[in-house]
Amino acid sequence: MIYLMPMKLLKLKLFFTIASIIFACFLITSFVYSGRVLVAVPTKQNQGRNLENSPPEVVIVKPSSNDRFFWNTIIQYSIRVSDKEDGKSEYDEINAKEVLLEVCYLPDAASAKIYIDKKKTSKENTGLTMIRRADCFTCHASKSKLIGPSLEMIAKKYQRTESSIERLTKNVINGSTGTWGNIAMPAHKALQADDVRQMVKWILSNAAIPNSTFYPGMESAFKTGTKPVNGSAKMVMVLTASYTDHGEKNSMQHTRYGQYAVSLKPAN
């Protein structure tokens, strides 16, 4: 004889079966979903921060490449920088002293093009990036004496040997006085010796290169050179503005370098 369940009990059993199936489905779905959320979010963020640091966009607003320049004359310049992570110079989000203008004179348009193309493919030297970020340009100009000796004077005084690199590194970290006059260079205890060593190496290798002068600042002025005795009317002045962004947490990893060049012909 078949045992017949009372209708009420059967309904109750059916109800619990369906309810537990729905509950199981809910558990599985929420587990899979939460798993996906937990995994997906950090991956996206990591990509944004580490791998996709956008390069800064640098533009020389003034002068323009159609302008002609006069020898031995003050030229006003203006640079604009925009970086996805660091911000925009028009909103004062870019530190002006980290923006550099390099001025260089070349014999003709063809050599200016080679010079600009070579620069486009090169990466900035880490020593120079660290000089931008430290306070060095407050007291040291590239080619003229400011509060401290010019970087060119330093590069001419010391050979690039291990002993002079070590000596200068110590002097930048501990401060120095008496070598160049009575004005003292303050100590830079917060800087790491390895970083200062790279800055010193950059100074000793590059600061005495004739015909290349760096000016810090976004809106400033510089004086053009005196017309070379054997300089021809074909000579070109190349202005290269550059900025190195801060990447993640100001580290030197994943920084991106942006630059922009204009070449100007002489008016006389």
CA atoms within 13 A on the CB side of 53: 19
Q: Binding to ligand HEC by residue 239, rule CB under 6 A? A: no
- Total residues in contact with ligand HEC, by rule CB under 6 A: 27
Beta bridge partners of 243: 258
Q: Binding to ligand HEC by residue 153, rule CB under 6 A? A: no
Among 78, 111, 125, 176, binds ligand HEC (CB under 6 A): 176
Q: Binding to ligand HEC by residue 172, rule CB under 6 A? A: yes
| Cα–Cα distance for residue pair 265/268, rounded to 1 Å | 9
Among 79, 134, 165, 236, binds ligand HEC (CB under 6 A): 134
Tokens for 114, please give them. 């080679």
Shortest CB 173 distance to ligand HEC, Å: 9
- Do 199 and 134 touch, CB atoms closer than 8 A? yes
Interacting span for ligand HEC (CB under 6 A) from 91-99, 144-152, 227-235, 240-248: 144-152
| Helix residue ranges per DSSP H, the chain | 7-46, 109-121, 126-133, 136-139, 151-157, 162-174, 193-206
Tokens for 219, please give them. 């809106």
Dihedral sign from CA coordinates of 217, 219, 220, 221 = positive
Question: 171: helix, coil or strand?
Answer: helix
Q: Binding to ligand HEC by residue 187, rule CB under 6 A? A: no
Binding mask 198-227 for ligand HEC (x = CB under 6 A): -xx--x------------------------
Shortest CB 211 distance to ligand HEC, Å: 22
Residues of the shown chain interacting with ligand HEC in the complex, contacts defined by CB under 6 A:
134-136, 138-140, 147-149, 154, 168, 171-172, 176-181, 183-186, 188, 199-200, 203
